[in-house]
């Protein structure tokens, strides 16, 4: 194996490990929010809403800090964005991708993404989880 191939494998293994650790952290945070809000009699699913908001906030703040000052190494982006935010809520990725489509002038596709994601994913529960 060449030195560059070994470096590539080593680099990707570190990212996999960081995503794994971040995903566990995000999942534990999600579990904590579920526990915290299970102690209330609120009708709206506030645990999910809180997870989505916190995840989107972390994602947006990290991107803002990274893009404006490039202060955050890529490995931490893997840990935080893919790992923590992904374990906490994939809604942050959905929101970011929809936002990017709107920024690129692809508003129709953004609306289609919102509609299809909500309708198809919710519809699957009506079909399979009766």
Shared domain check, 68 and 11: yes
- Domain count within the chain: 2
> What is the crossing angle of helices 46-69 and 3-38, to 10°?
140
Distance CA 44, CA 79 (A): 30
Shared domain check, 118 and 59: no
31-61 confidence digits (pLDDT tens): 999 999 888 777 788 888 899 999 999 988 8
73-88 confidence digits (pLDDT tens): 777 888 998 999 999 9
The Cβ of residue 105 has, within 10 Å, a number of other Cβ atoms equal to 9
Shared domain check, 111 and 83: no
Shared domain check, 106 and 78: no
Task: Give the 3-state secondary structure of the chain.
Answer: CCHHHHHHHHHHHHHHHHHHHHHHHHHHHHHHHHHHHHCCCCCCCHHHHHHHHHHHHHHHHHHHHHHHHCCCCHHHHHHHHHHHHHHHCCHHHHHHHHHHHHHCCCHHHHHHHHHHHHHHHHHHHHHHCC
Shared domain check, 60 and 17: yes
Shared domain check, 54 and 39: yes
Domain ranges, residue 117: 90-130
User: pTM of the full predicted structure?
Assistant: 0.76
What pLDDT score does 73 carry? Answer: 75
């Amino acid at each position: 194996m060449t030195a560059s191939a070994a470096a590539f494998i080593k680099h990707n293994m570190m990212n996999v490990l960081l995503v794994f650790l971040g995903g566990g952290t995000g999942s534990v945070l999600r579990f904590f929010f579920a526990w915290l809000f299970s102690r209330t009699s609120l009708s709206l699913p506030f645990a999910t809403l809180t997870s989505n908001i916190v995840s989107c906030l972390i994602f947006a703040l990290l991107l803002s800090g990274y893009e404006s000052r490039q202060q955050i190494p890529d490995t931490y982006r893997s840990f935080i964005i893919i790992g923590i935010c992904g374990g906490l809520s994939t809604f942050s990725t959905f929101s970011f991708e929809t936002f990017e489509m709107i920024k690129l002038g692809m508003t129709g596709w953004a609306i289609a993404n919102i509609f299809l994601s909500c309708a198809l994913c919710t519809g699957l529960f009506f079909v399979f989880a009766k």
